[in-house]
Amino acid sequence: MNTTAAESRPPFPPFTADTAAQKVRMAEDAWNSRDPARVVGVYTHDTRWRNRSEFPVGREEVKVFLTRKWARELDYRLIKELWAFTDNRIAVRFAYEWHDDSGHWFRSYGNENWEFNEQGLMMRRFASINDLPIAQADCKFHWPLGRRPDDHPSLSDLGL
């Protein structure tokens, strides 16, 4: 199923530095909600992903993927940072901290490449991610679950 013209998610391509940064922050905010239904609304109905070794296609598969992800990755907190952009594509680097149900903490680092349609919905998301076991005392993302406060340091500010 293709996206209808009535569905849109500004800002729209072609991106500028400001609109690309805005798109990245909006994505970070959505993912920090840990609400799969909210997150999938920014993707086309036929979106194509590569996330580690999984390749979900379409909103429903992405929703199932995210539900499973956040059931496993507890106390998830994410920071995304714009890396590069052009026309309808954005490259992002990110890190997130989480723990499993045994209390083992991790910082996951990665890069994403995004491609958008004219309505500002993401058609493709390609992610490469690595997990680093950390001690809870080494966590750097300290804010209540949900949206990262505007005054919280960025990845660059944290030396990540």
Q: In terms of CATH architecture, what is 17-138? A: Roll (3.10)
The pLDDT value recorded for residue 6 is 65
Q: What is the pLDDT along the chain (160 residues), one digit of tens a residue?
A: 454 546 999 999 999 999 999 999 999 999 999 999 999 999 999 999 999 999 999 999 999 999 999 999 999 999 999 999 999 999 999 999 999 999 999 999 999 999 999 999 999 999 999 999 999 999 999 999 999 999 999 999 999 9
CA pair distance 72, 14, nearest whole angstrom: 36
d(CA 93, CA 115) in angstroms, rounded, equals 15
**Of 85, 84, 81, 80, the residue nearest 13 (C-alpha):** 85
What is residue 1's predicted lDDT score, i.e. its pLDDT?
45
Q: Is the Cβ–Cβ distance between 128 and 110 less than 8 Å?
A: yes
| Residue partners of 57: CB distance under 8 A and separation at least 6 | 46, 47, 48, 49
State the pLDDT at residue 4.
53
Domain ranges, ordered by start, for the chain: 17-138
21-59 burial, b if ≥16 CB within 10 A, otherwise e? bebbbbbbebbbebebeebbebbbeebbbebeeeebebb
